[in-house]
Amino acid sequence: MNRGVRVAIAVGVVAALAGVGLWYSQVFAQRNPSNIVVSDFESRHFDAYRLSNGMKVLLVSDADSEQAAAALNVTVGSWSNPPEVPGLAHLLEHVLFLGTEKYPEVDSYHRFIEQGGGTNNAYTADENTLYFFDIDADQLEPALDRFAQFFIAPLFDADFIEREIQAVHSEFTASLQNDSRRREDVLSELYLRDHPASRLAIGNDDTLDVPDLRDQLMRFYRQHYVAGRMALTVYGPQDIDTLKAWVDARFGGVRSVDSDAPVFDQPYFEDADLPFLVEIQPRRESRLLQLRFPVPGNEDELDTKPDDFIAYLLGQETKGSLISELKARGWAEALSARPGNTTASQHQFSLTVQLTETGLENWEAVAGLAFEYLQLIGEQGLEEWRYDELADIQRINFEFAEHVSPAATVQSLAERLSIYPPKEALRGPYRFNDFDDDTLREWLGYLKPDNALVVLMHPDAPAKVRSRWYNTPYSLTPLAGNTLAAWRNPQTVATLKLPDANPFVPTNLDVLPLTAPTSSLYRNQPQVIRNAPGYELWFEQDDEFRTPKLDVSLLIETPDARATARDRVMTQLYLDLVDDSLSEFRYAAGLAGSGYGLSTNERGMHLRLYGFSQPLPTLFDTLLVELAEHSIDPDRFERLKADLARRLRNTDEDPVVNQLFRRLSQFLIRDAQTPEALSKALADVTPADINAWRDRWLANHRITMLVHGNLTQEDAIELGDRARLMLPPSASTAPVEPQIAAMAGRRYRHELSVDHNDSALLGYYQGSNSSLRERALYALAGQILNAPYFAELRTQEQLGYVVFARAHSVHDWPGLVVYIQSPSTDPALLQLYSDRFMTRFAQRLRSMSEAEFRGFKQGLETNLTTPADNLYELSQQYWSAILDDNPNFNTGQRLAGEVENISQDGFVRFFETQFLAEGSRRLMLHQVGEGMASDYDEHGQGLVGFYPADGPADMQRDARWVTPTFNNLPPR
């Protein structure tokens, strides 16, 4: 009997079991006291109100949270920049972090947050600027006090403003090779001059070089940073009354001035300008067609969301959809439809198609099919049942929306509070409550050929002009009359059709009764419920989140996935083929809240499924069948192979930091492969090779599986049995044991060349072993070092925008990395600055107060022991422990215990031995930026005691290869 048929029978068994009453309904009896709309399953308490100064506030009390967070959104962004000072709003965002009247030290806020185990950041968008932090819950009140001062009495220190211009400029230069930024730079030159999108948003040292800059910043701040245009969200375990008292006392001092958020309703183009074609050259090898349509503000359509509904229909991937037809013709790899932001201002609706080479040759026909599908939507798609289906999906998503981290929660809620009525701050984005045929047709009418800006991005685009800021080659071309005529009156394509009803929308959302005993004194954990040679099944019925969701992880452990460069590319290509064959199936499931991921890792292949427990077994079975029996289509094979080859070539255009970390991995990980080696290995791979490789791993693999969530043990065993049936494990396959290079006690220096203007330093310090004690020491080093490293080398010395120090484990072998990326300083000088900092910091550690040192430890302990926010995160923690061979699932708690036992004297000795001593294990990677070679040669003479490493082999010949194990214990 065919394995696929046997699995189909098994699916029927599960369906029958579900039908005879395994599911039951759980009803929450406790009424939530929140004054905003919450789901029936919401346990947190929300309270929305206004301060007397007009600031909107939303408080979130979560008694179970060990972390707290806050975010403040201001309804002003880069579109409000004065025309003569592009980048002013972005610079202001930076400046507010540089000291306030009450807390004048330039790095005191950053240091306080990090010491409390937290993080902080901000970003400037077109129409808003958002500031946020998270921290140990015990430190929320003093953190709010510091945070509030940003919006009451910042210092605007002239010296630091000048320095911060360089930070903004470094951020600008770091983005110069980003193709999305380059494309937007071209388009900004095409917009009308009075539209704010026509100006540089990020700013640089040219646009910010104005004589009255400090005055400009203060005027901008006084005009826009007023209470009535702010929305604050605070999250903590404290009760609402406590949170309210803290907020009122601190944010009531924000100025109350009449000031309305600007609305930018001016057009992007004159009516006669559109349509037209702009062709743009990317740096990465890519082929992209984008149709952009100017559309009016949508803030008056919060209940109908016409642009969201049209994007939902246009982005479908089911059979007969636009992308399905384009793939069938070999013209496209992917498609996305984006309705733009929720705003009162004019914005853009965009349809983006990733083209194949053949698709590029037929781009006009691709656009023609898009307009035909839009016409089909107008003729058949604006039906109430389709709208109701989307509304049902979103209602379910809202009702069972899982908690995310406090930091993520406050960011999203602060932005929503500026858009939606306070009562709808939580539910607003999910609400589709008003099917209105007239409104939908009005919005569909904006997506016409005569209202289109057509963007074609490809390597051979004519380079007639270069954009001002990003130097991007582009050209403008009139659209031919016959092309426009064909788009305006598209021919009917019989194979295009709108989707049927989605079969994955769950109809049973009940939560199963618990079969294992529960107690307030302990928490259930996964147990091995099946163990056989080559096969291990772990299971836990979720007793914590009680949601109708399920998480399944399956590790196919095989040496044949990564033994050689050829094996690696065949593994990736096969997973690409499997995923592509299931794209229509996957998309429908994903819309309804269930999905999967297919990936490679150091042990083999990893399959993870997550979503509602009712439809997930069907998705699981379909994936198993495809993994075991995928039939390769030759044309699709060639296209996906070409796509993988292109992705490998494009790694040369990855951000500098990514390229340096990839190079570090090549030094440290056994049999790591370069993109060049992988490209070479891929060149002659055939479908027959892939099939032979699949037969190899099917005969030579182990299975480890975790089932966690809303399922009984019996059904989990059934899932595992089906995995064994479709992918029979081999009893003789040994576990794959990843190895890393344990460095000799030396300092190595490696130079590499990345095609980028910036220089960069990546310094790696390696631990001595994989014990929990060593991991705790390096984690604490990252906790203590990051804020002062950033403050000195980024804020004070202004060496670059991207600056950090953090713990960095490789296969659980601990270490620490420092990184600086600079547009103006060569890596040898960056190295000297970094080494000087480390030497000075040893003295700072010796003189650090006991209370400050204890604060850093407590912040790290909180991070290590903070409970998972949702089922997905908890499953990930379980899975990591299983792979670590820690059946007690207490890695975080044990690490926290090791941190608690670190004395200050012991940590100082560790720091001096591991980071300063001659025999410390170090690898320094130097990227020399454009035009900095002579400076590098000069400053490099000051670097003494380094062994040159032209490549990984130069370091590895002195290293020993080791397999890290949990707590440095011998393998079982």
CA–CA separation, 284 vs 846, rounded Å?
48
- The token duo for 913 is 């031995």
Whether residue 698 contacts residue 793, with contact meaning beta carbons closer than 8 Å, is answered with: no
- At 325 the three-state DSSP class reads helix
Please, what's the b/e burial string for 351-363 (b: 16 or more CB within 10 A of its CB; e: otherwise)?
bbbbbbeebbebb
Angle of CA points 942, 947, 953, to nearest 5°: 145
Residues 6+ apart with CB under 8 A from 289: 352, 353, 355, 359, 363, 366, 367, 454, 455, 456, 457
- At 693 the three-state DSSP class reads helix
Decide the pairing of beta strands 802-807 and 332-338: unpaired
- At 320 the three-state DSSP class reads coil
CA–CA separation, 408 vs 205, rounded Å?
32
Decide the pairing of beta strands 453-457 and 288-295: antiparallel
pLDDT, one tens digit per residue, over 643-658 is 999 999 999 999 999 9
Residues 6+ apart with CB under 8 A from 777: 767, 814, 902, 907, 910, 914
CA–CA separation, 696 vs 682, rounded Å?
18
Please report the pLDDT score of residue 30 as a whole number. Answer: 56
Q: Which helix (H) or strand (E) holds 961?
A: strand 960-962
What residue type is 370 in one-letter code? A
CA–CA separation, 487 vs 499, rounded Å?
23
Residue 451 DSSP symbol: G
Q: Which of 659, 799, 756 is nearest to 176 (CA)?
A: 756
CA–CA separation, 709 vs 540, rounded Å?
7
CA–CA separation, 447 vs 455, rounded Å?
15
What residue type is 492 in one-letter code? T
CB-neighbour burial class of residue 438 (10 A; exposed 0-12, middle 13-18, buried 19+): exposed
- The token duo for 846 is 């010796």
CA–CA separation, 856 vs 113, rounded Å?
10
- At 855 the three-state DSSP class reads helix
- Supply φ then ψ for residue 657, to 5 degrees: -60, -40
Decide the pairing of beta strands 67-74 and 230-236: antiparallel
What's the pTM?
0.93
- Strands of the sheet containing 129-136, edge to edge, are 45-50, 56-61, 230-236, 67-74, 129-136, 119-124
Q: Which of 890, 884, 876 is nearest to 971 (CA)?
A: 884
CA–CA separation, 878 vs 628, rounded Å?
27
Sign of CA dihedral 586, 591, 594, 600: positive
HSE, CB side, 13 Å, CA atoms: give it for residue 923. Answer: 30
> Quick count: other Cβ atoms within 10 Å of Cβ 384?
10
- Crossing angle of the two packed helices 871-883 and 891-900, in degrees rounded to 10: 80
**Cis omega before residue 449 (within 30°)?**
no
Q: Which of 616, 602, 608 is nearest to 669 (CA)?
A: 602
Q: Which helix (H) or strand (E) holds 240?
A: helix 240-251
Please report the pLDDT score of residue 972 as a whole number. Answer: 59
Helices (H), 363-509: 363-376, 384-399, 406-417, 437-444, 481-488
Whether residue 434 contacts residue 303, with contact meaning beta carbons closer than 8 Å, is answered with: yes
Whether residue 589 contacts residue 616, with contact meaning beta carbons closer than 8 Å, is answered with: no
Whether residue 707 contacts residue 609, with contact meaning beta carbons closer than 8 Å, is answered with: no
- The token duo for 909 is 């000795």
HSE, CB side, 13 Å, CA atoms: give it for residue 858. Answer: 17
In angstroms, the first-to-last Cα distance of the chain is 38
Q: Which of 472, 501, 606 is nearest to 552 (CA)?
A: 606
Residues (pLDDT < 50) of the chain are 1-29
Angle of CA points 147, 151, 157, to nearest 5°: 95
